[in-house]
Structure 1
Amino acid sequence: MASRRGFLAGLLATGLAPQASWASAGSPAFLSAGKDASGAFLLAGLTEDGEILFRHPLPGRGHAAAAHPTRPEAVAFARRPGRFADVIDCRTGAAIARLEPPAGRHFYGHGTFSPDGARLFTTENDYENARGIIGVWDAADGYKRIGAFASGGIGPHDMLLRRDAPGLVIANGGIETHPGSGRAKLNLPDMRPNLSYLGFDGTLQDQMELPRVLHLNSIRHLAMRTDGTVGFAMQWQGDPGEILPVAGLHKPGNPPRLMADGDPRVLNLKSYGGSVAFLADGSKIGVTSPRGGVLQVMDTGTGVLLQEHRMTDVCGLAMSRAGFTASTGTGQFFGISASGMRRLHRSDLAWDNHLIPLV
């Protein structure tokens, strides 16, 4: 009788052995960077209700993360202008790799995998040349860096896979920065934020720029609807107090649609979109503001502001089965539905900017 070890070896040789999946890591619903009471930074895997399934230490403050589409692996990205991206085996917490961009560049805190999981794409700043870069890494071969291409603008921040065509959509915030100047913004008079739609080889497929009067509205964060509509959140870099849109929608080939445009309640967002997400059916879009301590929900058909929920230091936002899930810097998880808001969980961690859904 063949031994179990020999049987498994045979499966491995034929490629028929069962592959590790996200179920092996407890089937987390979300990933989030955070900070514990001692000041140590980490990446955590969370249930739908915000309970912690696993945590992994980070060498500095994290921002967002990317989940491999099939393997239980996550990449935790440093907050700008950090230079680490930790690849983590979420079953064991073991470090698989630590990625660093080439000299003269830093990460912008976001990235995404190709649909088949073979490549990882990262948003980066080529700060000596004041241009945005998308780094390309071979996730099938130890996450070796295999290339890079222009992001289509300055200050690429968030990035998602397109749903309507093969490729990427990048939020180029338009703000020039340099590590030698801290977090100073070096080109405000000449800002030109855009959404750039790129092929996986860097070919520019489409691009949307805001009207000139809104050129100081830095496009920062993205959500994707199933039909390919992009939701985007902005952060105003001009004088405060104006009634300016913070969220918008875009489909390639069309002008942008600005949500709650002219509604004085958008002032409660303090001109700062922290995260953005669609409802599962795409009928509503939510945007958070940690500065305003508020989540606003808008109708994607009419653009009308429907709901406003107050939460101290709220920023993370993702769709959930019941509506939206939000996380805060005070360690709280909230569920938001048509019937209102309820607290789901509270931990001793301060959750960072983004709540990354695993779908």
Structure 2
Amino acid sequence: MTSRRGFLAGLVGTGLVPRATWADAGAPRWLSAAGMPDGGFVLCGIGDDLELRFRLPLPGRGHAAAAHPARPEAVAFARRPGTFAVVIDCAAGRQTAELSAPEGRHFYGHGAFSLDGRWLYTTENDYASARGVIGVWDAERGYARAGEFDSGGTGPHEVRRMPGRDTLVVANGGIETHPDTGRTELNIPWMQPNLSYIDEGRVTDSAALPPEMHKGSIRHLAVSHDGTVAFGLQWQGDEDGPALVGLHRRGDVMRLCDTPEDALLAMRGYVGSVAFGAGQRDVAITSPRGRLVQVYSVETARLQQSEQVQDACGVAPCTGGLLIASGTGALRRMGRHAGARNHSGLMWDNHLVAL
């Protein structure tokens, strides 16, 4: 009689053993990094009921994460200018690999997988050359470094994959930095932010803000099902900027969202995260400095809702609306199924990643 071990070995050999899925990690709906009261840092899986499905240690402060499209695996990135990214098997609850930025580089806190999950793309700073780089890592070979290409600008921050294909869109913030000066911006008078679209390692399209808005650093992105890109700015000028939220369709000019002056001033020049709502008809931004969540109509590019939320930063779609994460430990639903859950002792970091 065939032993159980032999039977399982046979299944492995034929490829019939079911692969682990996010259900094996407790079926989380979102991922987020968080700080702990003891000074430690974790990556958390959050369920639809806003309870934690897992809480796994990180070697330092996290910023955002990239979720593998086919298995319960996440890559958690250090806050810029960090040099680590860790690969976590969220079902087994263990780290399986660590990415180290090549010499002369640092990560910007974001990454995105290819459509099939084979490649991970990371935003990086080649700081000696003041050049933005997209690093390429082979997820099937233990996340070995496989190559790199230009990001199409300086200071690439968030990268997203366009829906249904392997085109990347990159938020090049335009700001030159160097680890020797920490997070100090070195080129504000001549910075040039843009959105770049990249196909097969080559920039095939780009879009820039009007010249008078060159101090609007494009940092964070969201992409809708139809390919509309929403972006948020962090204003670097002494004076107040004329807009902090915009929309773009590849091949068109950028549309800047219309924000009443009082609401614009309340954001204090800073957008922390961007997400389309569940219905894709509106886009939400958070401003932790302004303690605000704002929602804009995609059709009209106008502000339609503004809510005060203490230290709000992470935002992601949820059933019937939006989920907001706060540095206070609160998770809050906005929309048809409003509700909240407070995880005292956790300080949610900048981003919620929807699975």
Shorter-chain TM-score: what band?
A: over 0.9
**Following the alignment from structure 2 to structure 1, what is the Cα–Cα distance between the partners of residues 48 and 13?**
37
Q: C-alpha deviations, 1:240-299, integer Å up to 9, x for none?
A: 4x3521111101110011112454312211110100111122111100000000000111
**Following the alignment from structure 1 to structure 2, what is the Cα–Cα distance between the partners of residues 227 and 188?**
34
Alignment of 1:106-125 (within 5 A): 106-125=106-125
Alignment of 1:131-170 (within 5 A): 131-163=131-163, 165-170=165-170
State the identity as a percent. Answer: 53
TM superposition shift of 1:3 = 2.2
Task: Specify which of 329, 332, 335 is matched with residue 330 of structure 2.
Answer: 332
The answer (yes or no) to whether the contact 2:115–2:165 under 8 Å persists in 1 is no
**Following the alignment from structure 1 to structure 2, what is the Cα–Cα distance between the partners of residues 182 and 346?**
31
The answer (yes or no) to whether the contact 2:216–2:241 under 8 Å persists in 1 is no
The answer (yes or no) to whether the contact 1:243–1:262 under 8 Å persists in 2 is no
| Corresponding residue SS for 1:18 | coil
The answer (yes or no) to whether the contact 1:51–1:345 under 8 Å persists in 2 is no
**Following the alignment from structure 1 to structure 2, what is the Cα–Cα distance between the partners of residues 348 and 100?**
30
| Corresponding residue SS for 2:140 | coil
- Match of residue 221 from structure 1: 220
| Corresponding residue SS for 1:192 | coil
The answer (yes or no) to whether the contact 1:245–1:262 under 8 Å persists in 2 is no
* Residue-pair matches, total: 355
More deviation in 62-71 or 263-272?
263-272
TM superposition shift of 1:344 = 3.3
**Following the alignment from structure 1 to structure 2, what is the Cα–Cα distance between the partners of residues 180 and 332?**
35
**Following the alignment from structure 2 to structure 1, what is the Cα–Cα distance between the partners of residues 172 and 210?**
15
| Corresponding residue SS for 2:141 | coil
- Match of residue 88 from structure 1: 88
**Following the alignment from structure 1 to structure 2, what is the Cα–Cα distance between the partners of residues 49 and 193?**
39
Output the amino acid matched with 1:40: G
> Unpaired segments of 5 or more residues in structure 1?
none
TM-score between the two structures when normalised by the length of structure 1:
0.96
- Match of residue 177 from structure 2: 177
Output the amino acid matched with 2:285: V
TM superposition shift of 1:163 = 1.8
- Match of residue 304 from structure 1: 302
Task: Specify which of 288, 302, 321 is matched with residue 323 of structure 1.
Answer: 321
**Following the alignment from structure 2 to structure 1, what is the Cα–Cα distance between the partners of residues 6 and 93?**
28
Task: Specify which of 334, 342, 350 is matched with residue 353 of structure 1.
Answer: 350
- Match of residue 237 from structure 1: 236
The answer (yes or no) to whether the contact 1:243–1:264 under 8 Å persists in 2 is no
The answer (yes or no) to whether the contact 1:164–1:227 under 8 Å persists in 2 is no
| Corresponding residue SS for 2:184 | coil
**Following the alignment from structure 1 to structure 2, what is the Cα–Cα distance between the partners of residues 31 and 69?**
14
The answer (yes or no) to whether the contact 1:76–1:85 under 8 Å persists in 2 is yes
TM-score between the two structures when normalised by the length of structure 2:
0.97
- Match of residue 266 from structure 2: 268
Task: Decide whether aligned partners of structure 1 residues 216 and 282 sit closer, same or farther in structure 2, where only a CA change above 3 A counts.
Answer: same
CA RMSD of aligned residues (A): 1.4
**Following the alignment from structure 1 to structure 2, what is the Cα–Cα distance between the partners of residues 345 and 185?**
35
**Following the alignment from structure 1 to structure 2, what is the Cα–Cα distance between the partners of residues 261 and 286?**
13
